[in-house]
Amino acid sequence: MFLCLIFAASCTKTDKKSMDIQPPIAKKKPKELEKHGDVRVDNYFWLNDRENQEVIAYLEEENEYYQKMTAHTEAFQTELFQEMKSRIKEDDSSVPYKLNGYFYITRYEKGSEYPIYSRKKGSLDAEEEILFNCNELAQGHDFFNLRGISVSPNNKLAAFAVDTVSRRQYTIQIKNLETGELYPDRIENTTGGAVWAADSETLFYTKKDSVTLRSDKIYKHRLNTPSGEDELVHHEEDETFYTFVYKTKSRDFIVIGSTSTMTSEYQILPADQPDGTFKMFSERERGLEYEISHFGDYFYILTNKDGATNFKLMKTPISKTSSTNWQEFIPHQDEVLLEDIEIFKNFYVISERDQGLNKMKIVNWANGDSYYLPFESETYVAGTTTNLDFDTNKLRYFYIAMEAPYSIIEFDMETQGQRILKEQEVLGGKFDKANYRSKRVWANARDGLKVPISLVYHKDTPLNGSSPLLQYAYGSYGNTTDPYFSSVRLSLLDRGFIYAIAHVRGGEYLGRPWYEDGRLLNKKNTFTDFVDCSKFLIENKYTSADHLYAMGGSAGGLLMGAVVNMAPELYHGVIAAVPFVDVVTTMLDDSIPLTTSEYDEWGNPNEKLYYDYMLSYSPYDQVQVKEYPNMYVSTGLHDSQVQYWEPAKWVAKLRDMKTDGNLLFLDTNMDAGHGGASGRFEALKETAKEYAFLLDLEGKIP
């Protein structure tokens, strides 16, 4: 008690309770894992069995410990949840988009967790036709996700898929939109997506391997026939690839794609010839990536062919699709990443990323005239949105800034006039974007490069080192975390937090080379970039080590595990959501979902070079006897992306080896998977837990 009085500023309710509540200690059952002559001893390998009641009991003990240790925050969690929920317009709806004579709408009703999908024929004034009310369909399920709605060309049928387990293994069904009848066709263990041929009777879909969950087979299904009789159209036998099927925007071709991290291959079939044979577009070449779009007599190919690291656009006639016939249409640029092309009848739109910023270039097919949409901020996100109508001059795009909600804008590419179709409403009566500031700064990485950081904060938040700051990053797969707006995040900003997105290597914020420099044998750059950004934020008085927090999920959870091993002294607290932390063991197990298809991202540890490198940063293997920051770790029992046992083993090992008295929580959702809870409001409860953890450490809970 004497010590608590002396250090009253840092002694929280949690500190007092921790004197009485002891965490569970997982049993050690040593298992030797040998590879390349190296023997690792894994004391917690036994947690790798969700059917084992001893494992379930341990996870429940950890949950109980977390709940007891945070009982004093429960009322505040509820307050946060209600606060975040109050900003969301409950009876919201999407901007309608037109497809094949119908306007399609996604809307929510007040108090509902799930969306309602509907459409109106010909006019927005027409009577609404409910396609799917997910609130009704979700009844009786702890988890529910409907996806992949695909309406037949004759507008009479809809294929859709449902997952009620959260393993991302979807069951496809077919609904008659005229009668409401649900057909007996049931196709299990799919990715959820389905593509109709032009006859409105033939459906192409992707199946998953039942063990690895790799999408490896494309099937053809005939309406009103047993799925067991479906014809196998394509089997992707290379375990480092996954396959998928879709229809071109022109609706003229059905396309089968096969891709790995660094190689692509496509096959095409005229949509009006469902019984025909798919034609190879251009056979795979190791390291050659490409995507295809169809317009008129040509295919347009976004590709890295011939060393175009930041990609270029090429074209080829429909009859000559092999890469030997491709001709340059838009050349490669060393400093600008070419991200996408959106094709319309009279115009095409090129999406670029220049120094991290989104740019959209509009080009007239007839005369080649072009111009860029004007954007000025350095913390914005912009891009094309739903543009399914080919024969229109109206482009729909979205715009978001870190301090301002998103807008969906309709832009007339002919007249250059525009109108806002929808602005995100932030309810509650307290939000005014003028109260917030955003900026972009550049941290010095240890190898001399500059790493951009996007920041947002309340205008009254002091920038003198005293403010708490939450630093987020992902940094893998070339996925870029853009500087987006979040109404949920306001609960931190309004309580004095600064929010920072570190655009570390491993993403593509600064182009494809930025990604290449953060994968395989360059992966550690992702981790050191994050640490160097943290040091920059401390040195420049945005925060201090006593008030700096770090957060990442999935591969970003790997990042969290790496940085707490490398520089634990920089962080007061860390949130690791569904973290990928047992890198070596997972990547050596080709029965685990996603493993083989990710060798080009992380490396194949069956090769000693990659084994040694991965082992040198794998968070679970690198846990040391030393102090670690306060940590909140979350997972889902049914996670198909990062298996629950990775964070469970990591927490067990940390408990055994760390020398501090800081908080360490493992919170397992026993009903959900990688994405957490399925309802739009239920998910906020998980965010409330994370925010309460941070605010409790800051002494900001009433």
Give the C-alpha separation, 597 to 612, whole Å: 20
- Identify whether 221 is a catalytic site residue: no
Which helix (H) or strand (E) segment holds residue 246: the answer is: strand 242-247
- Identify whether 272 is a catalytic site residue: no
Give the C-alpha separation, 389 to 273, whole Å: 23
Which helix (H) or strand (E) segment holds residue 335: the answer is: none
DSSP code at position 76: H
Question: 498-502 and 469-472: which strand pairing?
Answer: parallel
Edge-to-edge order in the sheet of strand 357-364: 336-343, 347-354, 357-364, 370-372
Question: 664-669 and 450-458: which strand pairing?
Answer: unpaired
Give the C-alpha separation, 409 to 387, whole Å: 12
Structure tokens at 360: 């959209």
Residue with tokens 């999407």: 94
Active-site residue, from 547, 572, 638, 674: 674
In this structure, are residues 512 and 518 in contact, taking their beta carbons and an 8 Å threshold?
no
Active-site residue, from 639, 640, 667, 696: 639
Q: Among residues 340, 202, 188, which one has the least CA distance to residue 276? A: 202
Rg (CA), the chain: 26
Structure tokens at 91: 């009876």
**Cα-to-chain-centroid distance, residue 470:** 19
Give the C-alpha separation, 529 to 473, whole Å: 10
In this structure, are residues 54 and 61 in contact, taking their beta carbons and an 8 Å threshold?
no
Structure tokens at 202: 């033939």
- Bridge partner residues of 295 (DSSP): 298
Give the C-alpha separation, 559 to 474, whole Å: 7
Give the C-alpha separation, 589 to 360, whole Å: 42
Report the chain's terminal Cα–Cα distance, integer Å.
21
In this structure, are residues 469 and 454 in contact, taking their beta carbons and an 8 Å threshold?
no
Give the C-alpha separation, 684 to 702, whole Å: 20
- Which amino acid belongs to residue 286? R
Q: Which residues of 217-247 are buried (b: 16+ CB within 10 A; e: fewer)?
A: bbbbbbbeeebeebeebbebeebbbbbbbbb
In this structure, are residues 161 and 193 in contact, taking their beta carbons and an 8 Å threshold?
yes
- Bridge partner residues of 418 (DSSP): 411
Which helix (H) or strand (E) segment holds residue 169: the answer is: none
In this structure, are residues 225 and 187 in contact, taking their beta carbons and an 8 Å threshold?
no
Q: Among residues 336, 459, 357, 452, which one has the least CA distance to residue 401? A: 357
Structure tokens at 137: 């369909």
Residues 6+ apart with CB under 8 A from 597: 214, 239, 240, 241, 242, 260, 261
**Cα-to-chain-centroid distance, residue 600:** 19
- Identify whether 572 is a catalytic site residue: no
Active-site residue, from 554, 597, 618, 678: 554
Residues recognised as catalytic: 554, 639, 674
